[in-house]
Structure 1
């Protein structure tokens, strides 16, 4: 069982480096273009050169200077108070108006259907 451990560690590092490279924004990649790093990781993955090169030379540095501004982080819409507020402001008005329009259209269609059933001609007025 232990003889498979080195293979699994190499595979885990290769997969980690590959996914990390794919998820890194193009403008944050160092050294080579992102596509070149993908090829380096894929071609030299089994001898550890590609993944280690990515981690050392291509991966963006995550550490920030003390006191510097925090990097912008993605926030899920349901955790973003600004997004939720915009839904309440814009969405409530348009939804109410849309509902009123649908109700008016439904009433008009119901009246038209009743006229057809009773045999009245809507053109006669």
Structure 2
């Protein structure tokens, strides 16, 4: 079982990264287009997923999440004014 553990971990990391690429907004992905990241993750077993996590994954600056949004309707003054 010990010799299969690194392979299982690499496969799980690749699956995680492919799902994350699929769910990432197109405008927020850094360095390369999403389809190229997905290809790199699938074709380059260890380098692709690590590259995605370090270089391609959307961050706060690329998503423009600097605007603070209310977490609940009762925290939103505009919503409360409309009631």
Q: State the TM-score, normalized to the length of structure 2.
A: 0.70
RMSD between superposed Cα atoms in Å: 2.6
- Seen in structure 2, the aligned counterparts of structure 1 residues 2 and 53 have a Cα distance that, compared at 3 Å, is same
**Where does structure 2 lack aligned partners over 5 or more consecutive residues?**
74-83
SS at match of 1:60: coil
* Larger Rg belongs to: 1
Q: What residue in structure 1 maps to residue 10 of structure 2? A: 10
Deviations 1:78-121 (A, max 9, x none): xx8xxxxxxxxxxxxxxxxxxxxxxxxxxxxxxxxxxxxxxxxx
Q: Which has the higher contact order (CA 8 A, sep 6+)?
A: 2
**Where does structure 1 lack aligned partners over 5 or more consecutive residues?**
74-79, 81-125
1:4 is displaced (CA, Å) by 1.2
Aligned length: 70
